[in-house]
Amino acid sequence: MTASDNTISRKLLDWYDRHARDLPWRAMPGEPAPDPYRVWLSEIMLQQTTVAAVKPYFAKFTATWPGVEDLAGADESDVMAAWAGLGYYSRARNLVKAAKVVSGLGGFPVTESELRKLPGVGDYTAAAITAIAFGKRAVVVDANVERVVARLSAIEEPLPKARKAIREQADAITPDERAGDFAQAMMDLGSQVCTAKKPQCLLCPLAQDCAARTLEPERFPVKPLKKAKPVRQGQAFWIERDATVWLVRREGTGMLGGMRALPDDGWSARADGHGRPPLPGHWDEAGSVSHTFTHFALELSVRTYLGSTEPVGEGEWWPLARLDDAGLPTLFAKAARRALAD
């Protein structure tokens, strides 16, 4: 690390000592390192998700499963239900798998290479656990850090090719001491000050070291043009009788795998949305809901049926009064609200 790089890390750590966010999974500056379980759980939850959205889920998970041994012994369906609404449901399935591995090992691995072997743990998460939970030097680069570093060095190369240069610059300014605090300081700076839009450069402790400040900070990191997402069509079926609704369990693999849901026409495996309803008879149209997935957008028509006929296939009659406890993923929660409103 050069003298300039050392100055950057010192300035940032001084700022962090005064402005660190108080988060339920974090140890504040000067406190002992947090439990690796809490660090791992929070980092998995925070992937593609905001801090505000994660807080209540983290509280619920740690109250229900206080340690990794508890989570390892949990029923996957209970974990999936508790996860409902956070999205990217493969993360929840990998949580249970990884917890079982950690339980079998007798504790979390303490090196990045061993952590990366856990289901659902990639380069970023392994580095974050290594630095934050174990205090070892690791180069931690999430979207916030990526933005800070791209602006500090005014990296003109567009993403994703720029990530190699960004990582090299992040490595150059990462100190040997207080690795966890430095990683979290970079995250806080990116989320609180060096924001994607309208960065608060006057409040930034690294303003004098930032090459993008006199250019156009919001332009960095340079991003490629977005491609329009394809739109799929589908149908969801609301079957109601005696103040209950028919719910099915989706297959364990694939989109929203293992989750309770309304029956549908197989939109996740087909793009035409012309599957048949699960029951013959009169169906009412309740409108439609929209939802955006990583690689496509979905327009889901909601059709309702009121009657006493038993649906074909496996499922369960779920009391409408307890529908919130079913753990429906966001898409089907939207569809359920649409049906109930109709």
User: Which of the residues are catalytic?
Assistant: 43
Supply the angle between the helices 163-173 and 3-19 in degrees, to the nearest 10. 80
Answer whether 156's CB lies under 8 Å from 223's CB. no
Between CA 282 and CA 278 the distance in angstroms is: 12
Select from 124, 126, 64, 123 the least CA-distant residue to 96: 64
Between CA 306 and CA 283 the distance in angstroms is: 8
Instruction: Enter the tokens of residue 21.
Output: 């966010």
